[in-house]
Structure 1
Amino acid sequence: MTPMTTENLELRRDHLVEAMLVHVPFDGWAWSALEAGAKDLGQEPGDARLAFTGGMGEVADHFARWSDRRMLAELLTIDLEGMRVRDRIHTCIKTRLVMNAEHKESLRRLLSFLALPQNAGRLSRMTWRSCSEIWYAAGDTSTDWNHYSKRGLLVPVYSSTILHWMADDGDGDGDFPETWAFLERRIDDVLRTFRMPRRVKDRLVRLFTPMEFGRRRSA
């Protein structure tokens, strides 16, 4: 097997995750898909398992982090500063979905894997982290209660938009106008929530923090 070093582990994981995506629609979110991706890269199947000793859950987590990094890199090419905050959030989520559009079926298989009870905590942490990255990209610098409220209220917007997008076949030209309209409505809902009494917002935010969200899904 090819030696695995700390210096190249992150990059090799990136390449493996990207290569496996074409196999996931057929094999599911499974070792066989990852090993097939390794073969496509000219690597031994054992290299794939060596890169992800934490199992397929670790592969899912790395895919989410990789997608976060790709989203942030793409956002650097967009003038977010000239937008309203709501438009920044919309652009961030839209960018995240568009860049993964060619692997939609693989994402559907990933969501099925993450829907398993044992993955509830991982799914909630991944979702929270992505929403946090979106807020940072949108210019948020809060460190007080607002830090958590913004992310807690974005989690259901982000999650429901992904599910809507999964069922959206698009307009035939590679765009998803129905999903973007849905996203606009969800953002409107959040803006109305910010006008609610503090105690109501507190309850809503607690529902979607990683610990509470994971506990409810595991029940």
Structure 2
Amino acid sequence: MSPTYEEARNHLLDAALTHVAFDGWTEETFRAAAAETGLDMDFARAICPRGAVDLALTYHARGDAAMVERLAAAELSELRFRDRIAAAVRFRLEAVEDKEAVRRGVTLFALPAHAGEGAKAIWQTCDVIWSALGDSSEDVNWYTKRATLSAVYSATVLYWLGDETPGHEATWEFLDRRIDNVMQFEKFKADVQKNPLLKPLLAGPNWLFAQMRAPRDKGDLPGSLG
């Protein structure tokens, strides 16, 4: 029986990972993976029309899935919510089996042609985290939560890539500091909203934000008004 597209894509990815450290997420890697799995190149192209770019995105999605599985098995109910977020980011990075594959992915998605896909992948990771932790926001908070976490996650990944401390302890300390910064910013926003002198100035922006809704289809980003 022929493999499904998903099965074949995962076979391609497994084969590609042995080449990524040397050749990056490149056409050379994609062709080598197709040859090693015995897949016809036309079939491989049907599975991954953009070649190694699609394999890199599949690798990223595989890490997200591993993180969700670990979150589901973890007991986080006694933790503060900011600590649950930190745990999720940590689980996501600990799901990585090959740091060089991530490093090469960062290089790939820094290219202008692929920057949009890279940003979307980070956003989706942060959406997965918030959803797994039970976020039910439907208004502008849906966006601000994912935007701030995307900034934290991106910075933490870059720090982690260069971290050589035992157990990546420096990375987890860096992550805690970034989350503390976000919490301080959230407190500042709340204080601004409560300031009676600023209420007239905020009336317009607040009305606009009130019209924003979370996307019904997660593939439909950034969402809608009204």
Separation (CA, whole Å) in 2 of partners of 1:74 and 1:20? 25
Q: 2:147 matched to which residue of 1? A: 152
Separation (CA, whole Å) in 1 of partners of 2:80 and 2:18? 37
Cα deviation, residue 37, structure 1: 3.1
Cα deviation, residue 155, structure 1: 0.9
Q: Aligned partner of 1:24: which letter?
A: V
Separation (CA, whole Å) in 2 of partners of 1:48 and 1:12? 8
From 182, 186, 189, the equivalent of 1:194 is 186
Separation (CA, whole Å) in 1 of partners of 2:163 and 2:42? 37
Q: 2:75 matched to which residue of 1? A: 79
CA offset digits 1:157-192 (Å, max 9, x no partner): 000000000001131xxx110000000000000101
Q: State the superposition RMSD in angstroms.
A: 2.4
From 100, 115, 119, the equivalent of 2:114 is 119
Cα deviation, residue 45, structure 1: 5.1
Alpha carbons 2:29, 2:52 under 8 Å: kept: no
> In 2 relative to 1, CA 95–40 (structure 1 residues): closer, same or farther, beyond 3 Å?
farther
Q: 2:196 matched to which residue of 1? A: none
Unaligned runs of at least 5 residues, structure 2 = 194-204, 206-220
Alpha carbons 2:25, 2:53 under 8 Å: kept: no
Q: Aligned partner of 2:184: which letter?
A: R
Q: Percent identity among equivalent residues?
A: 36
Q: 1:65 matched to which residue of 2? A: 61
- Count of residues in correspondence between the two structures: 195
Larger Rg: 2
Separation (CA, whole Å) in 1 of partners of 2:7 and 2:181? 39
Unaligned runs of at least 5 residues, structure 1 = 203-209, 212-219
Q: 1:169 matched to which residue of 2? A: 164
